Amino acid sequence: MTVPPETMGDGLITYAREGDVALIGLNRPDKRNALSDRFILALGQAVARATSEARAAVLHGHGAHFCAGLDLAEHSEKPLFEAIKGSRLWHRTFATIELGEIPVISAITGAAVGGGFELAASTHIRVAEHSAFFALPEGQRGIFVGGGGSVRIARLIGPARMGDMMLTGRSVGAAEMERWGGVSYVVPDGEALTRATEIAARVAQNAPFTNYAVLNALPRIAGMSSDDGLFTEAMVASLATMTDEAKQRLRDFLDKRAAKVQAPPRADG
């Protein structure tokens, strides 16, 4: 079932659905999709809707860029406590993506800068076009990351590389960011949204409990001691096999009704 596009949050977000995949679009192209608190609230509403009616989601930007980060015009006028509350709003909203119920794939075009990179880091799979670029210019702006980047981006690419980006303000291309671990797939220009949607449709076919466990158990296990992590893994693995869907899928595999894992295509064709 296809649900035609509509807007949310006074037009800041577009929302559509293709089967089990929700398509969430950042819709402020004249500002390179710079994020304000009002924008973040609308994004949270779209994520909540996707969670209630889809099994995976794609996050993308309208226009040439994914997201240029924080709307500095709004941020520069905030009193101290309001700035803290704004940062915590971003934290809560991005957490509903990272530790949510459905996988979210980001389709990255153009700039993923500052808060835009932080938003992408909260998604589970990042698909970037060849010309996409990443930057953390906070050092040159006299500010600091406030959307969870010090945790999520640092875990993806390491604190040393993140520190380099913040101190120097340099941009990093998609291919290098893939080598660093910040990008999952690099695709030709013009193909990020299509590829991200294909991946989302594929992961939407997984058992919902397994997807939920991947999203919520893996990050927590990563922060545990080895012994605690292995114990938690045993509990989650056992719970997963107890679901009716897992039992049916295992029967299908044993009865040769399910496809086997195939080797990837050779790079030389």
What gap in Å lies between CA 269 and CA 173, rounded to an integer? Answer: 26
End-to-end, the C-alpha distance of the chain in Å comes to 35
Burial class for 213, CB neighbours closer than 10 Å (0-12, 13-18, 19+): middle
Whether 53 sits among the annotated catalytic residues: the reply is no
129 catalytic residue (yes or no): no
Catalytic residue among 18, 101, 138, 178: 138
Q: Is 124 exposed, middle or buried (0-12, 13-18, 19+ CB in 10 A)?
A: buried
Nearest to 12 by CA among 47, 38, 48, 44: 38
Q: Is the dihedral of CA 10, 127, 219, 169 positive or negative?
A: negative
Catalytic residue among 53, 82, 101, 118: 118
Catalytic residues: 118, 138
